[in-house]
Structure formats: structure tokens, C-alpha cells
Structure 1
Amino acid sequence: MISLWVTDSFERKDMEINLLAKLLVSLARSQNGILDSNQLIKGFESVLSTLEDAVNDAPKAPEFLGRIIGRVVVENVAPLSEIGQLLREGGEEPGSLLKCGLAGDVLGSILEVIEVEKGEGVLNEIRGASNLRLEDFRPPDTNKY
């Protein structure tokens, strides 16, 4: 369900993406426990496994996915450390998002959402707690022989 919603949102407008992010947070925070962090993570993992194909039809998919995940991270529904691991290991083949640069694109969008919504101090705090190193998300240098 999460994967379908998020993938569908790649072809929507900004307002709809923001509403989907709010919906996911609300469902995860509901008293009935409709969604939990693990379900969100699994949904994002599924989206990441098809992101390389999705970019062909929706070039802004990494940015939009990052905005949705960023909101989830800002609201403390899923930790940035787990998201970082998904980005490093994700793709059609394990690690392919990292190799093609999409992992860095998604992470950049996530970090931008955190900074815009909570400020640079909170961004640094969340990033520090996650133990993510930004340089680990750069694609390999293809100019080396």
C-alpha cells in the first residue's frame, strides 16, 4: 500500500505529495497503530527497489521521495539511520542506487526538508545521531580508469 501510494505520487503535484507525507505520518502516529515504523520502512524499501525505472517516467521521483521521507524523519516516525541504510543498499541490484547517484539525490532532498522545516541546528542533530557520512552517498568516480 505504501509503495503504491508513494510511487503514484511521483506523477502528482507538490500539494498532493505534501498531503501524502502528512497522511503517512498521521497513520503511523494514530492511536490504533494503523502503520508502524517497520511497515513504512518496508514500503520505502519497495519504492527504492524500483526507483531507477521510476526516474525514466518521473524525473523528479528522487526529490519527491526525499520530501516524503524527510517529513517522516522530521516527525520522528522513522530514523534517518535506517533510511540511510536503505539508500546505501537499495536499488534493482543491491547498492545500485548508490552507484548511479540516486541515493545521494534522495538523501539531499531528505536533508533539505529537515533543514527547511526545523532549521540547521536540528538538521545537524538528526544527521549526527544517524552517523551518516555524506561522502558515503557520492557515486563512485567514473573518471578513474
Structure 2
Amino acid sequence: MDMLAKLLVNLTKSRDAMLSQVQLIKGFEAVLTALEDAVNDAPKAAEFLGRIFAMVIIENVIPLRELGQIILEGGEEPGRLREIGLAAEVLGSTLEIIKSEKGENVLNEIRKSVQFAVG
């Protein structure tokens, strides 16, 4: 999974940027739309997606504020992932990976820049 995250970061940040930030966000929105079904087949799908999101945030490709918003609005119907608790699972995994990779100070700095409710 880390290789996929690195690939996405490199495709977006490279000098010849093969993917724009907008394209990457559209792709993530599509994945979030299918996440509820994916979790039935792959119970750790939310955790794996959180790992990818963490790398994208750590590498300053997409800010947590923006990713958090698409997570909270995600699902087959807007907001469905929030309703069933998958949004919290993805965000929790994302923040946990950031903490383990970069430490609590970096996590706190990233969290200070964002204010959204996961309830």
C-alpha cells in the first residue's frame, strides 16, 4: 500500500505532474463512493485508504482540511460514510499513521489547521 501512496504522490508532485490535485481528489471521491461495498469484501479497506491519505497529507499533496471534507461527504449518498462510522474510521487511521510516521508534534500542527466535526 505504501508503494501506491508513493506512486500517487510522485505522479502529482513530479516536475511533469501526470495527475493534478483536482484529478487526485476526483479519484479519491470515487473510491470513497465505493468504500461501503469494499469493506464487505476487504474489512481493512478503510485502514488502507487511511494510509494512502496520510502519505498524501504528509507529502503536502492535499491538505487534511480538503481530504477530511471529502471523507465526511463521501459514500454512495453524500454523508453516508459519516452516518455508518466509516468516515471516522478512515480519518482515525489517517491521523494514526501521520502520528506514527511523523510524531505527535507534526500531527498536532496538522490538526490545528483543520476544524471539522466527525460526529
TM-score normalised to the size of structure 1?
A: 0.79
Could you list the per-position Cα deviations for residues 85-112 of structure 1 after superposition, in whole angstroms to 9, with x for gaps in the alignment?
Answer: 1111110111110000000000011101
Q: Give the counterpart letter for 1:88 in structure 2.
A: L
Specify the SS of the correspondent of 2:43: coil
Distance 1:39 1:69 in 2: 15
Matched, 1:39 2:23: yes
Specify the SS of the correspondent of 2:113: helix
Give the match for residue 106 of structure 1: 90
Aligned pair count reads 119
Distance 1:131 1:96 in 2: 20
Distance 2:49 2:95 in 1: 12
Give the match for residue 90 of structure 1: 74
Specify the SS of the correspondent of 1:88: helix
Could you list the per-position Cα deviations for residues 35-71 of structure 1 after superposition, in whole angstroms to 9, with x for gaps in the alignment?
Answer: 1211111110000001000011000000000000110
Larger Rg: 1
Q: Which structure ranks higher in relative contact order (CA pairs < 8 Å, sequence separation ≥ 6)?
A: 2
2:57 to 53, 73, 79: 73
Please give the root-mean-square deviation of Cα atoms over the aligned residues, in Å.
0.9
The runs of at least 4 consecutive aligned structure 1 residues that moved more than 2 Å come to none
Distance 2:104 2:94 in 1: 13
Q: Give the counterpart letter for 1:33 in structure 2.
A: A
TM-score normalised to the size of structure 2?
A: 0.96
Where does structure 2 lack aligned partners over 5 or more consecutive residues? none
Q: Cα distance, 1:131 vs. partner?
A: 2.0
Specify the SS of the correspondent of 1:130: coil
